[in-house]
Amino acid sequence: MSTPVIVTTSLKAGTALIREGGTWARSVGARFEPRRGRSIQELRRIYESFLIYTTRGPEIHTDTGVHRFHLSMAELRIQKLRAGGTDHLLDAVGMRRGVHFLDCTCGFGADAATVSFYLDDKSRIDAVEGSPLLGRVTQWGLTRYIHERDDVSAALRRINLYLGDYETYLRSLADKAYDIIYFDPMFDRPIAESCSFAPVRAVMEHGGLSADTVKTALLKAKKRVIIKGRDFGELKAAYPHLRLCGGKYSRVAYAVLECEP
């Protein structure tokens, strides 16, 4: 995160939006720069990392598209829960009341939002995101996005997002600091046809999940560690007692590793 994140506004921003963008930039540790009529191409030549603040929140602009905060798959998953359906991640969570949950790979925030919607208001949901740009867009959504349903907005507000890499964050924790620790190590190599990922692939920071990180997570969690994936061959070899949730009719499953009592 040594490269400063620059925030500027859309070309036709009025005084109120410019003021709002500057205030938001300072609140998230970014530097605000006036647009001065410069095109996206000009901004790319000048700044390595920048966000465009608009009436719909901050945007990431890349050669492959534009990304602003949206609920992604969380919208459909929450609708399914309202209708009495199930969710494989929540099956893996296996708890609902007073849960202290950590999402180490927040990304768009879809998993954290789904979990937050499901858990009760005595629960705490923390998340970590390593990309300075994507993290700040998601942070805006968690703190400012207003959904048409109040309970969805409330679920977003309950998520506390930390900008930084999850390995450093995990090492800083006391043992048994969370009930459940969750990883989606596939986020940096999403399904090719998923157009939602296209604009942000270049700014993603998540790498593969190391064996040492899994061991650390098992020390920092009280109940279980959950890992999203498709192929758990190596993990099964190391942890033969893991159980799987989902995967039979979907492209992904969740490996559940129970912690030692």
Joined tokens for residue 133? 């740009």
With respect to residue 65, please indicate whether it lies within any of the assigned structural domains.
no
Joined tokens for residue 25? 């930039």
Q: What is the mean pLDDT of residues 42-52?
A: 94
101, 256 contact by CB (below 8 A): no
Kindly state whether residues 11 and 85 are assigned to the same domain. no
Give the per-residue pLDDT at 189: 45
Q: What's the pLDDT tens digit per position in 21-36? A: 999 999 999 999 999 9
More confident residue, 165 or 252: 165
Give the per-residue pLDDT at 61: 93
Kindly state whether residues 105 and 225 are assigned to the same domain. yes
Phi, psi for 218 (deg, rounded to 5): -65, -25
Q: What's the pLDDT tens digit per position in 114-156? A: 999 999 999 999 999 999 999 999 999 999 999 999 999 999 9
Kindly state whether residues 165 and 116 are assigned to the same domain. yes
What are the Cα distances from residue 183, in Å, to 43, 89, 160, 186? Answer: 34, 11, 16, 9
What are the Cα distances from residue 23, in Å, to 2, 7, 8? Answer: 21, 10, 11
Burial class (CB in 10 A: 0-12, 13-18, 19+), 251: exposed
Kindly state whether residues 130 and 245 are assigned to the same domain. yes
With respect to residue 164, please indicate whether it lies within any of the assigned structural domains.
yes
Kindly state whether residues 198 and 120 are assigned to the same domain. yes
Phi, psi for 246 (deg, rounded to 5): 80, -170
3-state secondary structure (DSSP) of residue 241: coil
The tokens 């009719």 sit on which residue?
A: 249
Kindly state whether residues 147 and 195 are assigned to the same domain. yes
With respect to residue 62, please indicate whether it lies within any of the assigned structural domains.
no
pLDDT surpasses 50 at 179: yes
Is the CA virtual torsion 225, 229, 231, 234 positive or negative? negative
Kindly state whether residues 99 and 212 are assigned to the same domain. yes
Segments forming the whole domain that contains residue 141: 74-258
The CATH number given to whatever domain includes residue 245 is 3.40.50.150
Joined tokens for residue 138? 């998601």
- CA 211/CA 105 separation, integer angstroms: 16
Q: What is the mean pLDDT of residues 221-250?
A: 91
- The number of distinct structural domains making up the chain is 2
pLDDT confidence of 197, banded at 50, 70, 90?
A: low
With respect to residue 222, please indicate whether it lies within any of the assigned structural domains.
yes
Give the per-residue pLDDT at 252: 84
With respect to residue 29, please indicate whether it lies within any of the assigned structural domains.
yes
Kindly state whether residues 42 and 120 are assigned to the same domain. no
| CB-CB neighbours of 121 under 10 Å | 11
With respect to residue 60, please indicate whether it lies within any of the assigned structural domains.
no
Kindly state whether residues 125 and 248 are assigned to the same domain. yes
Give the per-residue pLDDT at 8: 98
With respect to residue 1, please indicate whether it lies within any of the assigned structural domains.
no
Phi, psi for 231 (deg, rounded to 5): -125, 115
With respect to residue 142, please indicate whether it lies within any of the assigned structural domains.
yes
Kindly state whether residues 35 and 133 are assigned to the same domain. no
Kindly state whether residues 130 and 184 are assigned to the same domain. yes
Kindly state whether residues 10 and 108 are assigned to the same domain. no
If we measure between CA atoms, which residue out of 114, 107, 130, 111 comes closest to residue 200? 107
